[in-house]
Structure 1
Amino acid sequence: MSTTQSERLRALLEPVVVETGLELEEVALTAAGKRRQLLVVVDSEQGVQLDAVAGLSRALSAALDASDAMGDSEYVLEVTSPGTDRPLTEPRHFERNAGRLVKLQLKERGELIARIMTVDGTGLDLEVPGVKGRKPKPARAEFAEITRARVEVEFNRKGTDDPDDGDEAEHDDELDADNTDNTDNADNTDESTEEA
């Protein structure tokens, strides 16, 4: 996808996304066999509900149909929320994942796996898990030194004061996965007829 088309699609779709109270994270156009696939990734502070994704999918489809942004070729529109494997690139991404374990690649210090405790305008206050019963250690990472960051999925978080904490983290990940799966199914149903 050319920069011009990418910018054009973002300019067309972002106001529609913002109108629904969501944030546009990514727009990606790829070839999928004879058709093209337009992936639109959205998020919000409260997460993304399936009903919101379905409604947004219809609104984006209408905006695309009313424009010539996709040309005459067939395409499939997929609207989804970020998965746990998506990179954390903006301060808001770190804020939304406060309390979660993340893997950071730092310019000078290399790889660091730590829990996000707080986020401010310049970086993260972290807690590095202890090894074999040792207490966690505080750490700090400035946004300017982070070259890559991703959430580390925790299936059984041990050593917390709340015995249900690990189960809750697991449940949240399951909900995210379910939301993505259901979104794909809902979108494919609606979008199989959405051709330009």
Structure 2
Amino acid sequence: MAKSKGGVTVSKVRQLCEPIINELGLSLWDVRYVKEGAGWFLRIYIDKDGGVDINDCETVSRAVNEPLDELDPIENAYCLEVCSPGIERELIRDEHFEQFIGADIMVKMRVPIDGIGKEFKGVLKSYDDGMVTIRDHSDENEVTISKKDAVWIKLDDFD
């Protein structure tokens, strides 16, 4: 299980990398600084219309490597990884939710919801100040949850 550390570190990396990534015609999806096993990983997730490929990841890695070394936001050794958020991308930031209103999503809750359970799918109907409204595909009922009560909320891009 990955352990997250350093909101300040992530914030500094985001501020440094976002303009560089935007200049390359890509967008910054997320930044995570996590410990897995004995090692620390700085993961920069990038995106673009049509998806990213290994060349985009390599380009961003080369572009941010030196500025990251100069900023030196991380005291210990770490592995830099630049990657795609993937097909089942996790919606994290407010702008992610706003961008994907109307999209199919999957939700995993920390505690089951009566009549729905712990995991369910639906359509992202609205997002307002951390509150997510989801319409069930089968019965058209809507449920509103707090984003913080979910383990994750991801796009459901599988047909």
State the TM bucket, normalised to the shorter chain: 0.5 to 0.7
Q: Which consecutive unaligned segments of at least 5 residues does structure 2 have?
A: none
- The answer to whether structure 1 residue 81 and structure 2 residue 84 are counterparts is yes
Q: Which consecutive unaligned segments of at least 5 residues does structure 1 have?
A: 129-135, 155-168, 171-196
TM-score (normalizing by structure 1): 0.53
* 1:147 matched residue in structure 2: 149
**1:61 Cα shift?**
1.0
| Percentage of identical aligned residues | 18
- The answer to whether structure 1 residue 5 and structure 2 residue 9 are counterparts is yes
* 1:27 matched residue in structure 2: 32
Structure 1 Cα separation of the partners of residues 37 and 111 of structure 2: 36
Letter in 1 for 2:32: V
Structure 1 Cα separation of the partners of residues 148 and 6 of structure 2: 28
- The answer to whether structure 1 residue 57 and structure 2 residue 57 are counterparts is no
TM-score (normalizing by structure 2): 0.62
Decide which of 113, 119, 128 is 2:120's aligned counterpart.
Answer: 113
Contact 1:18 1:24 (C-alpha < 8 Å) held by counterparts: no
Deviations 1:150-186 (A, max 9, x none): 34878xxxxxxxxxxxxxx37xxxxxxxxxxxxxxxx
Structure 2 Cα separation of the partners of residues 8 and 57 of structure 1: 16
Structure 1 Cα separation of the partners of residues 110 and 77 of structure 2: 42
Q: Structure 1 126/32 Cα, relative in aligned 2: closer, same or farther at 3 Å?
A: same
Q: Structure 1 44/119 Cα, relative in aligned 2: closer, same or farther at 3 Å?
A: farther
Structure 1 Cα separation of the partners of residues 50 and 100 of structure 2: 9
**1:126 Cα shift?**
1.9
Map 1:176-187 → 2, pairs under 5 A? none
| Root mean square deviation of aligned Cα | 3.8
Deviations 1:85-111 (A, max 9, x none): 664334554554855351353889453
Structure 2 Cα separation of the partners of residues 48 and 66 of structure 1: 27
Contact 1:42 1:82 (C-alpha < 8 Å) held by counterparts: yes
Q: Structure 1 144/3 Cα, relative in aligned 2: closer, same or farther at 3 Å?
A: closer
Contact 1:38 1:77 (C-alpha < 8 Å) held by counterparts: yes
**1:38 Cα shift?**
1.8
Determine helix, strand or coil for the equivalent of 2:141. Answer: strand
Contact 1:26 1:40 (C-alpha < 8 Å) held by counterparts: yes
Select the structure of larger CA radius of gyration.
1
